[in-house]
Amino acid sequence: MSDESKVYGYTVLSCFFFAICSLFTDLIKGLPIIEILWWRFFFTLALTSLINLYKGYPTPMDYPKTNMILLTALLGTLTAMSTVFALRHLPIGEATLLLTTAPIFTVVLSYFFLKEKLLVWDILALAAATLGVFFVAQPSIIFGNDNLSNQTPIFYISIVVALGRGFLKAAKYVAVSCTGVEVPTSVIVMCLSCLGFLVSTLFLIISVCVEQISDKDMNKTWVHPSILNFTCLWMVGVMYCLQQLCVCKAMQYGQPGKTSLLKYLDVVLPFVFQFVIFREFPNTWTLVGCACIALSTVSVIIVKRVKPIKHVKFRDEPTTFGETEEVDSWDSEMVRGGVAESGDLEVENGAEHGPPSSLPTGQLTLK
């Protein structure tokens, strides 16, 4: 399977698992958001730990790009916490619109830090997808009767936090891409879930202590889940784990900027499941928004088909001695995890050494 097919497959799977995760999250009744987040990190940490033990993977500290793995964990944890804050203090429409700005920031960060080529078609697809999210979210300030002058300061703070969450998630995508395909995604997700579990536990402890001191009802922070809620929490953890594994794989094999545009399917698929399972038919604006997102996604795939991504193995990727790979063209000088330096590759047919841009088409092998 080519790297391009892997990008499509892993991205669509991540959107599918996200939709299932959202479905089970909606079925959870009476639990605080921070508690749901704690259980999600707990089950994800347990599953990824079992996977790493079974596969015999080393700890994150044993990989050459430990700093990128830890940065991914930090960014992922901050993303989850900012999501909780935004959902607590913003209406669902505004929250949905602002929390899905990650692809916009991803395109910008990939352009500057990974030297990813930015086509006019990519900008048009991004604009169409963003417009689609606007129609799906239907913020009450525009579609309803809410007035900005009547909002409290926490409303504007939440807007800044939600936009910051989009930037943090974009930075996480870029960091995952820089880890390289040699780092197992289960190691990355385990590190992320471990840090998230510790931070959410600390937050829960502080919240419970504050409520005890102020004689408030502790049910606002922690509620013992029923059997149904516990089953849904377990499924949320499993689906979130699978979703993170798939999205990390997609970012490792593909260009984060273009791959993130496909993640707009996260907005569409939950509505599809709601209609199929619960028979909840969306309104006209939602259908228009879903159509915009679908068209932008299809356009990205078509453009990538016309100009596919080429992947070449470099020294920092695992290989066997003498392994060769056919290369048709060089996709600029961008490499997942860095830019190739002169002398990293040599041509078997006797061509002189040089930077990647000067190498001819032919058989390449590692020194």
Q: What is the mean pLDDT of residues 206-212?
A: 78
Answer with the residue of higher pLDDT: 164 or 135: 164
Question: Would you kindly state where each structural domain of the chain is located, as residue ranges?
Answer: 3-306, 324-366
**Chain center to CA of 330:** 27
Q: How confident is the model at residue 331 (pLDDT cuts 50, 70, 90)?
A: very low
Q: How confident is the model at residue 313 (pLDDT cuts 50, 70, 90)?
A: very low
Give the SS3 label for residue 223: coil
Q: What is the mean pLDDT of residues 82-95?
A: 77
* pLDDT above 70: residue 312: no
Mean pLDDT for the chain overall:
76
Answer with the residue of higher pLDDT: 310 or 177: 177
Answer with the residue of higher pLDDT: 233 or 142: 233
What percentage of the chain exceeds 70 in pLDDT? Answer: 72
Answer with the residue of higher pLDDT: 116 or 361: 116
Q: Contact, 234 vs 95, CB < 8 A? A: no
What the block records as the tokens of 19 is 């939709």
Q: Contact, 57 vs 184, CB < 8 A? A: yes
As a whole number of angstroms, the distance between CA 263 and CA 104 comes to: 11
Q: Contact, 31 vs 219, CB < 8 A? A: no
- The residue whose two tokens read 């996977």 is 51
Closest CA to 326 of 316, 312, 305, 344: 312
Provide the β-strand partners of residue 345: 366
Largest CA distance in the chain: 79
Helix ranges (H only) for the chain are 3-27, 33-55, 66-89, 92-99, 102-113, 120-137, 140-143, 153-179, 185-213, 227-253, 256-262, 265-278, 284-306
Helix (H) or strand (E) holding 315: none
Closest CA to 19 of 235, 308, 328: 235
Number of alpha carbons in the 13 Å side-chain half-sphere of residue 94: 23
Helix (H) or strand (E) holding 346: strand 345-347
* pLDDT above 60: residue 342: no
What the block records as the tokens of 294 is 């679908």
Closest CA to 118 of 237, 256, 227: 256
pLDDT of residue 218: 47
Lowest mean pLDDT among 23-27, 69-73, 300-304, 334-338: 334-338
pLDDT of residue 362: 41
Answer with the residue of higher pLDDT: 176 or 259: 176
Cα–Cα distances (Å) from 274 to 141, 240, 270, 281, 340, in that order, read 25, 18, 6, 8, 46
Cα–Cα distances (Å) from 101 to 30, 75, 119, 199, 334, in that order, read 29, 15, 19, 24, 24
* pLDDT above 80: residue 59: yes
Using the Cα atoms of residue 245, residue 251, residue 253 and residue 254 in order, give the sign of their dihedral: positive
Answer with the residue of higher pLDDT: 264 or 326: 264
Cα–Cα distances (Å) from 160 to 108, 154, 194, in that order, read 18, 10, 27
Answer with the residue of higher pLDDT: 240 or 277: 240
As a whole number of angstroms, the distance between CA 166 and CA 105 comes to: 7
As a whole number of angstroms, the distance between CA 147 and CA 212 comes to: 36
Q: What is the mean pLDDT of residues 121-127?
A: 80
Dihedral (Cα; 328, 330, 334, 337), 10-degree rounding: 40
Q: Give the pLDDT confidence of 8-18 residue by residue, as tens digits.
A: 889 989 989 98
What the block records as the tokens of 271 is 């509505």
Give the SS3 label for residue 196: helix
Lowest mean pLDDT among 36-40, 146-150, 183-187, 219-223: 146-150
* pLDDT above 60: residue 353: no
* pLDDT above 80: residue 196: yes
pLDDT of residue 43: 96
Q: DSSP secondary-structure letter at 356? A: G
